[in-house]
């Protein structure tokens, strides 16, 4: 049986993988949104203001700004992020949390992705990038 890539197949794959990640995050008392926001802060080339971080995460999660500001507040309350003037900086505890989650998910990810031929992964990557680009354009048009 062959499965055609479509929105349903993409959604099922996303939620299956996200379910695995959310299980691991729950062991650390962290939500998916918190992890995405913390990762965005850690991966930023320069420290972000609250608004910059919210905008960056919104681009990934398509969540509303008030929800994302609340997520940033949660990270600040947990001391995973700290304020430095107008900017937010990840703390050592924030970096350690991401490292611990990464260490716990790495072997699971290897089992999920292992054995898939490189050419299949490359093709899937191209298709997913195109779908993301088109969906972002459609969402922008709906919000215009």
The per-residue pLDDT for 1 is 62
pLDDT, mean over the chain: 95
Question: Each residue of 4-56: pLDDT tens digit?
Answer: 889 999 999 999 999 999 999 999 999 999 999 999 999 999 999 999 999 99
pTM of the model: 0.90
Among candidate residues 43, 70, 42, the one with its CA nearest the CA of residue 54: 70
For the chain, domains (ranges, CATH) are: 16-107 (1.10.10.10)
């Amino acid at each position: 049986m062959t499965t055609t890539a479509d929105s349903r197949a993409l959604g099922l794959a996303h939620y299956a993988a996200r379910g695995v990640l959310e299980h691991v995050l729950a062991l650390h008392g962290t939500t998916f949104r918190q992890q995405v926001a913390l990762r965005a802060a850690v991966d930023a080339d320069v420290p972000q203001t609250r608004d910059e971080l919210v905008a960056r995460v919104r681009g990934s999660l398509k969540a509303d700004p008030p929800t994302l500001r609340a997520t940033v507040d949660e990270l600040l309350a947990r001391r995973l992020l700290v304020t430095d003037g107008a900017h937010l900086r990840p703390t050592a505890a924030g970096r350690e949390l991401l490292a611990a989650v990464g260490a716990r998910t790495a072997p699971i990810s290897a089992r999920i992705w292992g054995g898939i031929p490189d050419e299949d992964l490359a093709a899937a990557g191209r298709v997913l990038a195109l779908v993301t680009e088109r969906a972002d354009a459609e969402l922008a048009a709906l919000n215009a």
